[in-house]
Amino acid sequence: MPVLQKRMNKDTFGEVLARVSARLAGWKSCVLSMAGRLTLTKSVLSSIPVHSMSSVMLPQSTLSSLDKISRSFLWGSSVEKKKQHLLSWKRVCRPKREGGLGIRSSKDMNLALVVKVGWRLLQDEHSLWARVVRKKYKLGDLHDRTWLIPKSTWSALWRGVARGLKEVIWPGHRWVVGDGEQIQFWLDSWLSDRPLIHSATGELPGNAQLLLAKDMWREGMGWDFTRIGPFLPENLKLELMAVVLDHVIGATDRISWKGSADGEFSVSSAYRLITRDAQPRQDMASFFDRIWHVVAPERVRLFLWLTSHQVLMTNVERKRCHLCDSEICTVCKGGFETILHTLRDCPAMAGIWERIVPRHMRQSFFQSSLLVWLYDNIQASVIVGDIPWFTTFAIAVWWGWKWRCGNVFGENQKCRDRAPAAEWFKLNTDGASQGNPGLATAGGVLRDGDGRWCSGFALNIGRCSAPLAELWGVYYGLMMAWEKQIPRLVLEVDLEVVVGFLMKGIQNSHPLSFLVRLCHGFLSKDWLVRVTHVFHEANRLADGLANHAFSLPLGFHLFDFVPPIIGVDPMGR
């Protein structure tokens, strides 16, 4: 943490701002797609300021400036040219399943990081640091909150921590019962996420509120229902009976974190708690989830996301903002240019849809309202000519919008020289292990659409399990293909469980999740990757490379040309 001698003001953290600006300004925002700008905003925001933010609350003005820099960059504004921000920063900063882009606002992230310090302070009974700070600020019992009254002697660190304790930890903690010496039976959250007093039937006797859990417990008898019974509803009585106090093994009452299933504190769950809405919104989670699961390049998914928020700058919208004179469609001149007109009903698009929409979907296709239309098409499980319908649909609407913008702004001529549609490259990867776990290797090969060798690798890992070896193969294979700037990739893997991890994700607690997450990092980049399962026999070349790796030194070995491995035909037959 920065050593602070003087009082903080906005200059103290000027350096953080300067670094964030410099990192983002290094990129010409206009040459990056919105998808590229989103990735960059997230990575810069999450890397540079976190260090300063995790020890102290930055001044409001610094936080606002941080958010302002990111916001402008995301929407493509530069010093020379202001771009319209199509959605408020608050909405952009929501989690993806709540309709945002999952960017974290600096203000809320700062608080979440500082809360972590407060949580450690409460939990950590042994470190010198925690003991010193607790003593200095007289932070003892969570129930006695006199230490929350601000004093002029407070350091910047403690001011932030005290705020975190008050605003986040207090509402975000609950107790795990041990010996009942600390839990206030009626006032604390311990049996459920709410204090029992909120469920009490009838008025509690005056002094009852301060009773501790141990006061309600009769050793050898259980809970004292003569004192509890009259005030507790049946269901809670039953729940109470399932809990016991434990004086025997010396367990003490502990606080645990409500925001996660296992009671462990995490910055991301604190962030969720801080940004939670007081009033629950209409639940659109499955709608937004679908958008981010459509198999298409990130920029296409971002376009679907903008469409779902109905913020495309159609002529109707541009006229409203006095950016043009007419709300009539530039292409057909036959109607108001609304979003649905541009993407579906304009004769130029309708003609295309007529040809590609599967017959059984055609009837409802042209009748539904915008959001229903989007949802129906991105969640349809229809496959048309080997390609999921949602992919075709997403690319078609995105392409339709590009084409429309080209017409409106007169840029379509420029597209003529473009290279023909890119082909699908194929990546085969495989892992091999001698025992499970045992000495392990992986290999992979990248070939073009005609099966010609582009690149291959062999990896000598050391010792690990078979699925882990397979995943390392996938990871390095994806990295190799990404470095080669392959636009579309079919990834063939022969271990079904690994295909499952890549397609459906993995529990965070799973021991392989760290590597699956890294692989997902590649899958979510701005390219098209199809993951498929093949039988081991079809993966011979990758298998050959993996076996070859046993004879190589530890580490990664790249082959730009076909390596002379005996018995393997470069075409993989």
If the CB atoms of residues 8 and 332 are measured against Zn ion, the closer one turns out to be 332
DSSP for residue 230: G
Query: Is-contact 243 191, C-beta < 8 A?
Result: yes
Q: Shortest CA distance to 49 belongs to which of 8, 16, 21, 13?
A: 16
Looking at the Cβ atoms of 122 and 350, the one nearer to Zn ion is 350
> Closer to Zn ion at the Cβ: 367 or 381?
367
Judged by beta carbon, residue 331 or residue 549, the one nearer Zn ion is 331
Residues found near Zn ion in the complex (CB under 5 A): 329, 331-332, 346
What is the closest distance, in whole angstroms, from the C-beta atom of residue 402 to Zn ion in the complex?
Answer: 15
Q: Cβ neighbours of residue 143 under 8 Å, at least 6 residues apart?
A: 182, 184
Contact call for residues 17 and 61 (beta carbons, < 8 A): no
Rg of the chain over all Cα atoms, to the nearest angstrom: 29
Q: What six digits make up the tokens of 531? A: 């993951």
* Residue 24 or 329 having the CB closest to Zn ion: 329
Q: How far is the CB of 315 from Zn ion (least distance, A)?
A: 9
Buried b (16+ CB within 10 A) or exposed e, 106-145: bbbbbbbbbbbbbbebbeeeeeeebeebbeebebeebeee
User: C-beta of 352: minimal distance to Zn ion in Å?
Assistant: 13
Closest approach of Cβ 335 to Zn ion, in Å? 6
Instruction: Output 44 or 331, the one with its CB closest to Zn ion.
Output: 331
Rounded (10°) angle between helices 389-408 and 298-308: 80
Indicate the residue type of 220: G
Nearest by Cα to 20 from 58, 94, 158, 84: 58
Q: Are strands 173-176 and 528-533 parallel, antiparallel or unpaired?
A: unpaired
Q: How far, in Å, are 297, 396, 397 from residue 293 at the CA level?
A: 11, 17, 16
Q: Which is nearer to Zn ion, 350 or 503 (CB)?
A: 350
In the complex, least distance from residue 334 CB atom to Zn ion, rounded to whole angstroms: 6
Minimum distance, C-beta of residue 314 to Zn ion, in the bound complex (Å): 10
Minimum gap (Å) between residue 408 Cβ and Zn ion: 11
Residue 63 vs 346, nearer CB to Zn ion? 346
d(CA 237, CA 533): 52
Tell the smallest beta-carbon distance from residue 362 to Zn ion (Å): 20
Nearer to Zn ion, 331 or 502 (CB): 331
State in angstroms the smallest separation of the CB of 367 from Zn ion. Answer: 18
Give SS3 for 432.
strand
366 vs 375, beta carbon nearer Zn ion: 366
Please, which residue, 340 or 486, has the CB nearer to Zn ion? Answer: 340
- Residue 341, token pair as written in the block: 């007109």
Nearer to Zn ion, 332 or 562 (CB): 332
| Alpha-carbon distances of 470 from 432, 460, 461, rounded to whole Å | 7, 12, 11
> What's the CA gap between 8 and 5, in Å, rounded?
9
The type of residue at 251 is A
d(CA 430, CA 447): 15
The region that residue 572 occupies, defined by phi over 0 for left and psi between -120 and 50 for alpha, beta otherwise, is left
Task: Please name the helix (run of DSSP H) or strand (run of DSSP E) that holds residue 109, with its range, or none.
Answer: helix 106-123
Q: In DSSP terms, which residues pair with 555 in a beta bridge?
A: 460
For residue 404, the minimal CB distance to Zn ion (Å) is 8
Residue 511: asked if its preceding bond is cis (omega within 30°), the reply is no
Q: Are 406 and 412 in contact (CB under 8 A)?
A: yes
CB of 307 to Zn ion, least distance (A): 17
Q: Tokens 């450690």 identify what position?
A: 120
Compute the least distance from the CB of residue 329 to Zn ion, in Å.
3
* Residue 117 φ/ψ, nearest 5 degrees: -60, -45
162 contact partners, CB below 8 Å, separation of at least 6:
118, 137, 147, 148, 150, 154
Q: Compare residues 62 and 314 and give the one whose CB is closer to Zn ion.
A: 314
Smallest distance, Å, CB 342 to Zn ion? 7
